Amino acid sequence: MITHFLLKLRILPRWIIILIDIAVVGCATYLAYLLRFNFEVKELENFNYHLGMGVNMLASLLALLVTRSYAGIVRYTGIQDMLRVFNTLVITHVTTCVVNLVYHYNYNKNLIPYSVILIAFLASFLLLLQYRLLIKNVFSYYRGSTMSKIRVLVFGAGQLGMVTKQVIDGTDGSKYRVVGFVEDDIRKVGKNIHGTPIYSGQELNSLLDLLSVKELIIAVKDLSVDRKNEIVDICLEQDVKVRTVPQADDWVKGELSLNQIKEINIEDLLGRESIQLDNMAVCDQLQNKRVCITGAAGSIGSELVRQVIQYRPEQLIVIDQAESALYEIERELGNNDNIEFLVADVTNEGRIDDIFSHYKPEIIFHAAAYKHVPLMEKNPSEAVLCNVIGTRNLADFAVKHHVSKFVMISTDKAVNPTNVMGCSKRIAEIYVRSLNNHLKQLDRTTATSFVTTRFGNVLGSNGSVIPFFQKQISQGGPVTVTHPEITRYFMTITEACQLVLEAGAMGKGGEIFIFDMGKSIKIVDLAKKMIQLSGLALNKDIEIVYTGLRQGEKLYEELLASKENTISTHHSKIMIAKVLEYDYDEIKKNTEDLHQAALDRKDNFEIVAIMKRIVPEFKSNSSPYQVLDNSSSVA
């Protein structure tokens, strides 16, 4: 009966709280009189204790109305509520002292002994505090002990972990009950927080079963990715869901709520430790400069826009041919007089020339490109026009209009390419690097510096395997993987763009910077973990189906990351690739031939043959163009 009443009880009217608080102050005052006179009730009559109690209770009412300490919900009492109670009592007893002074002035005696006022203050504070905590604990006990509650462990007994428990316990209608904290810090193990024990992180595997845990919430600010993966693997083995608390900066209106504690996603497990940037160098490069970003509506381009704008450039010229996507980024950034949104195609020479002539960019980040391997394998002319000729147009006009620095964003697929897309990006790399060297030979000291950055797959980018798998899982499967042994490197969009800015700042011209992509990941393992994180069972709820390598697809991506093929830089995650030198006049002639073949669009094999002639290491894989991979055919 009591349990049912407490579970259904909502919030008491405030006037009831006021009456209870005044009654508590009255009781505390009476107790103070008794303590002062050693429980001699007759002595109380001599000091007119009825009038003294009435004055203190009336002062309490006035103080309550001033401080509004009755406004807090008693069963959610926290430190702020305690401070309000303390302030209320200070005002109450200061008011009583003032009345006492006035009374003494008129009647030459005290209305209330000051010793009684002091004792009443202390007793009132203890009683008001205790009855609030009692109500809080009663509600917590009855609501937390119901069998329908989901038993939860909170990983992390720091400030974030305590806030998480408070949110769970304090949310009306919460279906969770925190049964313990888990900590890797052995100094906290064995202690408790508000009666909730802290266990060792090394015992997590046994704790999940011992405490019948159904969910684990990670509430640690800087938990390493390796440790996070280890925790998730343990939980998935025991069919325990894993949730995570967002960083305090991401809390809605600065407060955490139960709805913000989300299920952990695969991006959280593939991310890496935060990187340290030379922000001063990046700031010096971008601040008060006119910066142009091509492909600015794409995954990489749009994140570059977001990051560059933070360095307060004089003007940001945002270019993309995708009208709708460009409109979305314009809406996101809002009205900003320093940003120009331009719909333009990098293959349109006249349009690019006009833009550079009018806006006079000083720094260019070139992210515009076609990147989908199977599509470009079927449409090599478009890969050439966008990735090669588009890059050549931008590079040539950068030189013509005295652009200071040109940063091209390439791909790991340009290394020993096995597909048209990768080869087109390699040719673009060759062109800008040879153009840079050509300008140096001409002793053009004020000429454009060309820098190339090269990295692998980006988490969450358009066409990434992760959203593709997520869609398949949401539709009930199957999840399709091309090959059981296929692996890929992954990097977050934010990290990739940070490294692009850093490499752009450190580049002097002619470098091809490659990024430390960490460990390669088996795509099938990625698919399995995504299925498990969705709460589904592999081969029971969802199956994995192998479809075979697509045209031009590699089993393993290459980054030329070995010490023999790279030169280290001051940044541990950025290296410079050692690559062959190409003669500028020769590559210029070859790109003209390639351009003409792409414009004619007569024979895809003719286009690819020219690409193989320019890049001899281009060997097609799972593609009809494999017939060209001998010297006589290419010749």
Domains of the chain: 2-142 (no CATH), 147-264 (3.40.50.720), 279-456+492-516+558-599 (3.40.50.720)
Q: Residues 204-256: pLDDT tens digits?
A: 888 888 888 888 888 887 788 888 888 888 888 888 888 888 877 667 666 67
Instruction: Give 376's pLDDT tier (boundaries 50, 70, 90).
Output: very high
Instruction: Give 593's pLDDT tier (boundaries 50, 70, 90).
Output: very high
Q: 214-228, 289-303, 449-463: which has the minimum mean pLDDT?
A: 449-463
Q: Residues 73-124: pLDDT tens digits?
A: 444 455 666 777 777 778 877 888 888 788 777 777 777 778 877 887 887 7
Q: What is the pLDDT averaged over residues 300-307?
A: 91
Percent of all residues in the chain with a pLDDT value above 70, rounded to a whole number: 85
Instruction: Give 276's pLDDT tier (boundaries 50, 70, 90).
Output: low
Q: Which residues contact 620 (CB under 8 A, 6 or more apart)?
A: 418, 419, 552, 608, 626, 628, 629
Per-residue pLDDT, 458: 74
Q: What is the per-residue burial (b if ≥16 Cβ within 10 Å, else e) of 405-441?
A: bbbbbbbbbbbbbbbbbbbbbbbbbbbbbbbbbbbee
Instruction: Give 588's pLDDT tier (boundaries 50, 70, 90).
Output: very high
Query: Strands (DSSP E) along 297-389, which ranges?
Result: 315-320, 339-343, 363-366
Q: 1-10, 280-289, 425-434: which has the minimum mean pLDDT?
A: 1-10
Q: What is the pLDDT averaged over residues 151-156?
A: 87
Q: What is the pLDDT averaged over residues 133-150?
A: 62
Instruction: Give 52's pLDDT tier (boundaries 50, 70, 90).
Output: confident
Q: Is-above-0.85 flag for pTM?
A: no
* In the predicted structure, residue 30 carries a pLDDT above the cut 70: yes
If one compares 217 and 275, the residue with the highest pLDDT of the two is 217
Per-residue pLDDT, 359: 93
Q: Residues 468-504: pLDDT tens digits?
A: 888 888 888 788 988 888 887 777 788 888 888 988 8
Instruction: Give 365's pLDDT tier (boundaries 50, 70, 90).
Output: very high
Residues in the chain: 635
Per-residue pLDDT, 378: 92
Which sequence positions are flagged as catalytic? 413
DSSP state of 124: H
Q: 120-124, 162-166, 320-324, 509-513: which has the minimum mean pLDDT?
A: 120-124
Per-residue pLDDT, 551: 77
Per-residue pLDDT, 130: 73
Order of strands, edge to edge, in the sheet holding 512-515?
Answer: 339-343, 315-320, 290-294, 363-366, 405-411, 449-455, 512-515, 574-577, 566-568
Per-residue pLDDT, 463: 62
Q: What is the pLDDT averaged over residues 157-164?
A: 84
Dist CA 357 CA 579 (whole Å): 33
